[in-house]
Amino acid sequence: MAFEQEDESGAAFGHVIAVHGSVIDIRFASGALPAINEAVAIEWDIGRPLIAEVQKHLNDHTVRAVALESTSGLNRGRAARGLGTPIRVPVGNAILGRLLNSIGEPADRGPALPAEIDRRPIHTTAPRIDSFVGTLETFYTGIKVIDLLAPLVKGGKAAMFGGAGVGKTVLIMELIRTTVERHSGISVFAGIGERSREGHELLLELRQSGVLERTALVFGQMNEPPGARWRAGLTALSMAEYFRDTAHENVLLLIDNIYRLVQAGSEVSGLLGRLPSRVGYQPTLASEIAELEERIASVAGAAITSIQAVYVPADDFTDPAVAEIFSHLDSSIVLSREMASEGMYPAVDPLASTSSLLDPRLVGEAHYRTAQEVRKTIAHYRELREIIALLGIEELSAADRSAVKRARRLMRFLTQPFMVTVAFTGKSGRSVELEATLAGCRAILDGETDDWAESSLYMVGDLDEARRKESQISRATP
């Protein structure tokens, strides 16, 4: 059982007096109430004890706790015991290659974890400000549009924003694969509120690509109680903190989807009887997001780099949860439904995506100037699209026609086949160095590809591959 190693001296003992779905009221002796966020084990007939987390003191005798597992079959009168500590989850090399649930138990039908494995509480404080190590080092992904227009900060926080079906999960899976191959370090993946099918596909993909041995997976799936989804992010973060602080390893923390964590918190808040705040969200929205985000940091010797997928409800970027997540980020990658519908994958909007690292003093003058020219050219094209739709491209000036031609080629050059989509597209994936991306964009901006077919630049790696494709197209055209 996950908490057998805890010291029981001074433990609070009580019994269940009410069960409201995932919320459980437990009565204890006066003066022996478990603390807020303390774990409680409830004995019942279905296997090992049920684990819940105290969220509210109703009076001097009673607490209200949120179960992290299904309460189906739990009845009143069951014995409960405060464990004297927050939920503690396993950490260390033994969890690499494993799929765990939100309380740290194996969910992959593999062998049990070692009994003597180290454990860490999921609730802890963020590193002290004076222990932070500021870094402006770029975390290269091999994905052209990200490295060019929204470079990630090593030890920073980045998020991919998009509605349903625009490619967030595929991009996350590609980032796991490419970054584990390109960067030495550990990956910890938190799947929050995602479909069981997606978790199974991810596990198979990581196993086939050979990177599972350096990855730990934590899932609080869509069919699990809100408490499990609510705490899966903190469970994964505690595991990442161990590798950063104790093993001194650089860690890539991927979260898909952090909006589902907010949704689970909203469900829990309603079950606890709290009045909702704006748009029906929990009144503790800002503090819940901050509790997670502020613990993602670089300290001396190692860093946690976090990449998070964020579902945008109804494509509304003014949603309070989305706006709150924005405030914690170093890089924001915005996925466009319009680009996805045109087959421009990854569907990263080149104008809406931003990064604090895109500064000439940090990335260099050449990179900054190229990125700005790419944005300016694409923005000009979008301004002209309405005129083109009404009057036709022939009505534009020669300079505007040239800008449109180059913008369309730039947008196609920034597409890229992924390694994780080979089975669906038949195209082998590409990982492109920044220098090749800059050289390709520079050539397009300078007009070297004006006479090329647009399809020559679509779904290729670097410009040399596009040149070979153009040569084949030219030979095939009579």
Rounded to 10 degrees, what is the CA torsion of 356, 357, 360, 362? 140
Does residue 381 surpass a pLDDT of 50?
yes
H helix runs in 246-284, sequence order: 258-271
Q: What is the mean pLDDT of the chain?
A: 89
| C-alpha separations of 458 from 9, 43, 142, 343, 452 in Å | 66, 60, 17, 10, 11
Angle between helices 196-209 and 168-182 (to 10 degrees): 20
Please give the pLDDT value at position 129: 80
**Mean pLDDT, to the nearest integer, of 223-237?**
94
Token reading at 208: 């086939």
Please give the pLDDT value at position 8: 45
**Mean pLDDT, to the nearest integer, of 38-64?**
93
**Mean pLDDT, to the nearest integer, of 161-178?**
84
Please give the pLDDT value at position 197: 79
Q: Is the dihedral of CA 436, 440, 441, 445 positive or negative?
A: positive
Place of tokens 């300078």: 446
Percent of the chain residues past pLDDT 90, beyond the cut: 64
**Which residues are annotated as catalytic?**
168, 194-195
CB 307 within 8 A of CB 254: yes
Among residues 433, 414, 440, which one has the least CA distance to residue 343? 414
Please give the pLDDT value at position 340: 92
Please give the pLDDT value at position 116: 92
Q: How many residues does the chain have?
A: 478
Query: Residue 18 forms beta bridges with which residues?
Result: 25
Q: Are strands 13-20 and 23-28 parallel, antiparallel or unpaired?
A: antiparallel
Instruction: Name the DSSP class of 45.
Output: S
> What single letter denotes the amino acid at residue 33?
L
Written in H, E and C, the secondary structure of 161-185 is: EECCCCCHHHHHHHHHHHHHHHCCC
What does the DSSP assignment read for 71-94? -TT--TT-EEEE-SSS-EEE-SGG
Give the span between the Cα atoms of 266 and 279, in whole angstroms. 11
Please give the pLDDT value at position 3: 39
Does residue 2 surpass a pLDDT of 50?
no
C-alpha angle 272-90-233 in degrees, rounded to nearest 5: 45
Please give the pLDDT value at position 86: 95
Q: Lowest mean pLDDT of 131-135, 160-164, 238-242, 427-431, name the range.
A: 131-135
Q: Is the dihedral of CA 429, 97, 301, 261 positive or negative?
A: positive
Please give the pLDDT value at position 10: 52
Other CB atoms within 10 Å distance of the CB of residue 80: 25
Give the span between the Cα atoms of 340 and 345, in whole angstroms. 6
**Mean pLDDT, to the nearest integer, of 200-220?**
84
Secondary structure (3-state) at 241: helix
**Mean pLDDT, to the nearest integer, of 418-428?**
82
pLDDT class of 200 with cuts at 50, 70, 90: confident
21, with CB counted inside 10 A (0-12, 13-18, 19+), is middle
Please give the pLDDT value at position 134: 66
Please give the pLDDT value at position 478: 64
pLDDT tens digit sequence for 249-302: 889 899 988 999 999 999 999 999 999 998 889 999 999 999 999 998 888 778
C-alpha angle 434-437-438 in degrees, rounded to nearest 5: 90
Among residues 215, 257, 219, which one has the least CA distance to residue 240? 215
Does residue 58 surpass a pLDDT of 70?
yes
**Mean pLDDT, to the nearest integer, of 158-182?**
83
Give the span between the Cα atoms of 75 and 66, in whole angstroms. 15
pLDDT tens digit sequence for 386-409: 888 888 888 888 999 999 999 999
Does residue 25 surpass a pLDDT of 80?
yes
CB 86 within 8 A of CB 38: yes
pLDDT class of 1 with cuts at 50, 70, 90: very low
Percent of the chain residues past pLDDT 70, beyond the cut: 97
Percent helix, percent strand, percent coil in the chain, to nearest 5: 40, 20, 40
pLDDT class of 7 with cuts at 50, 70, 90: very low
**Mean pLDDT, to the nearest integer, of 123-129?**
86
